[in-house]
Structure 1
Amino acid sequence: MAEDEQVDKDNEHSYELGHGTILELDAGQKMKEINPGRANTGFDLFVKAVAKQIGAAIELPYEVLLSTFEKSYSASRAALLEAWKMFRARRTWMARDFCQPIYEMFLTEAVASGRINAPGFFLDKRIRAAYCKAEWYGPSQGQLDPLKEVMASAKKVEYGFSTFSRETAELTGMNWDHNCARREVENRKLKEGGLDNAK
């Protein structure tokens, strides 16, 4: 090997391989080929083990991390719910510490410049807080069994644990008020067309 190609030319005990290099072995030494042993039968288990460690570090079950739901409905749902605990915590932080302050600054500037009429905005902190009150919803959670999810949402509303607006936003990402307005139009059209009894 040319001297300018050597990595460690100052070390006389360093052996470096180059193109067409032939090494002489001392008595008793043996040559052993490199065998990576692929495809390794333990590769899948290794990847899952690493994914579990990564998932634990970022608070995400490995089933969600790898998008592999190979177990029962209950186990898959438990994994998704565990992931959504982390998603909701980060979503709450994002809404509270980023979105809400920006919204309040925007609204304050709009009221101060006269673009938005908000009587009492600068006179009373409670009135300003009422104007600035907002609920932040992100994308809805994925569903493994939509029928079960809808029934659970209906029960939460029925027993007063939640509201139509919240369940609509969390289940579908839509706005319940807009849905109601749209349903009024649709029901009127069904009645006009004589289809209001259709299933």
Structure 2
Amino acid sequence: MTRRLRPDEKAAWEAMAAQVGKKEKPSRKPRELRPEEAALWEQIAASVRPLGNRPAAPALPRVKPPEGPRAEPVLPAVAHHLAGISVTDATLDAVWDRKIRTGEVLPDLVIDLHGYTREAAYNLLERRIRQAHERRARVVLIVTGKGRSTTPWPETPRGILKEELPRWLDQPGLRPYISALRPAHQRHGGMGAFYAILRRTRGE
């Protein structure tokens, strides 16, 4: 059985309940600083320097680029007795010849030169052959277009790109990448395309 509150206890309880139920209203106006607080604030503000007056950080030394010519990409090594042989005359083993003749060769990369000017076609060819070598591709299909001639390659004059392609691949900048150049099978363009068989990287 609980006892009843005395009058003084009841009054205290009611006062406490009234305080809990009230929501404290935010003050609309901040109070003013007392004199000693204002003096302390002025001292702190006087001791602070603006960021613009901070000393600048020391400049980093400039690194000069190395002098001398840029290093050229390393070309695959070519045997001396093959260096003077054209890509059209270079021989392949019997397995390669059979795959090319029967259309079993699957190109790893296609370079489509059809429709390019001579200069643009050469720049594209050089760039893509280097990329193919870096990717360790073996067969690159090069599309030149058939040109005007209908006589089988390479006995007669051909279109401009068809005529230039073997010469481009025989140049020192590209010859080390190429083992041989062969006309493509009909399924890959026939007289308008060629297989460039790339040299293997040593250690493969």
TM-score range, shorter chain: under 0.3
Larger Rg: 2
| Bigger share in strand | 2
